[in-house]
Every structure is written in C-alpha cells, then in structure tokens.
C-alpha cells in the first residue's frame, strides 16, 4: 500500500489498516523519515509509491506546492489494475486525467472529494465504470462536530489555567501560508 501524505488523516487510516500487515510506503515531503520509521513505515519517493503500490491512498492537503500534481504521467506509472483512493482534497489531482485513467481501464478509483461539491448530477464521473463515488460527509457528521467542540473546550480549559493547547492544531505561519483548500460554502 502507498500513502501520499501522512498527516492526521493518514495516521488514522494507517491505524485502521495495521491489522492487514501490509507493506506500506509513504511519500510526504513535509515529514522527517524518523517519524515514519518509528511506526515501521518506509519513507519513499513519489515514483516508488506510484510504481510499487497495489492501493494508493491520497490523504495530503492541497498546498501551493502540490495543487494538481497527480496527473496523466503519475497515473501512467501506477500498476495496471491498481486502486487509487482519493480521501483528502480533489485539488491534489488533475481530475480529468484521473477519470481518463479509470475510463481506459488502467486503474480503479474511489473518491469522496470532487472538483465541485456537491457533485453535479450530470458530472461525467458518475458514468465511469470502476470509479466508486461517495459523499464527502465524514467531517459534517454530528459526532464529528461534537468531537471538534470537545477539543476546543478542552484546549480552552488548559489555556484558562495558563497551559498551552494540546488537542487543536496551532496555525504555523510556515504551513498555513501554503494551504490551498477551498472553504466549505454549503453543508
């Protein structure tokens, strides 16, 4: 299995997949190799992940460095019949190239993120065989909103006692200025 990106979402997915004891390679230029080695995971180049993986999970954030960086040539490097699972943001891929690679039968794909959400009824991806579609709703589940609320309240309680927050992420200037995810306008 290959991961493109290994932030919070990648780590959570890795925990779910651990029982399968798969050989996992990760491409994430924002992480040091030691962090992955501690978890028994091999750091790899993007080409290694693309060429060696039967299943690739894309869980990277969209940044100024990687918008649309997975395109026609990257999909062509994948094993014939490999599965490509897009879970983070559609802006990571050239979506037309992804649809074309699946249409031609080179790879299979699944996604819960799309260039436009909600996905229009007449979008061509809806008619492609071997392209599994799912609504991008996990973050909008009631349980997720409650968990986010608890995290904020827990951190506020720590801050009230003069301690630093630990459950919410601090917005670091070096990374926030590079993020390119679109805001959600409709839930």
**Cis peptide before 7, with omega less than 30 degrees from 0?**
no
CB atoms within 10 A of CB 89: 24
Mean pLDDT of the chain, nearest integer? 86
Alpha-carbon gap, residue 187 to 184, rounded angstroms:
7
Four-point Cα dihedral 26, 27, 29, 31, nearest 10: -10
Per-residue pLDDT reduced to its tens digit, 31-69: 988 888 888 888 999 999 999 999 999 999 888 777 788
Question: Could you tell me the pTM of the whole model?
Answer: 0.79
Phi-psi region of 164 (alpha: psi -120 to 50; beta: other; left: phi over 0): beta
- In percent, how much of the chain has pLDDT > 70? 86
Number of residues written out for the chain: 187
Would you say 180 and 67 are in contact if contact means Cβ atoms under 8 Å apart?
Answer: yes
Beta bridge partners of 93: 70
| In the chain, % of residues over pLDDT 90 | 47
Give the integer Cα–Cα distance in Å for 110 and 98: 10
């Amino acid at each position: 299995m290959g991961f493109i990106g290994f932030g919070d979402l990648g780590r959570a997915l890795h925990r779910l997949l651990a029982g399968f004891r798969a050989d996992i390679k990760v491409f994430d230029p924002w992480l040091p190799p030691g962090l992955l080695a501690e978890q028994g995971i091999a750091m790899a180049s993007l080409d290694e992940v693309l060429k060696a993986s039967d299943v690739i999970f894309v869980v990277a954030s969209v940044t100024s460095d990687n918008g649309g960086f997975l395109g026609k040539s990257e999909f062509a490097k994948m094993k014939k019949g490999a599965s490509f699972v897009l879970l983070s943001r559609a802006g990571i891929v050239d979506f037309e190239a992804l649809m074309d690679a699946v249409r031609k039968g080179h790879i299979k794909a699944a996604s819960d993120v799309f260039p436009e959400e909600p996905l229009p009824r007449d979008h061509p991806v809806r008619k492609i065989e071997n392209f599994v579609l799912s609504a991008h709703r996990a973050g909008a589940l009631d349980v997720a909103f409650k968990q986010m609320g608890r995290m904020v309240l827990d951190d506020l309680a720590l801050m009230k006692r003069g301690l630093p927050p630990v459950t919410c992420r601090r917005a670091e200037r070096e990374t926030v200025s590079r993020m390119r995810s679109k805001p959600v306008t409709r839930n």
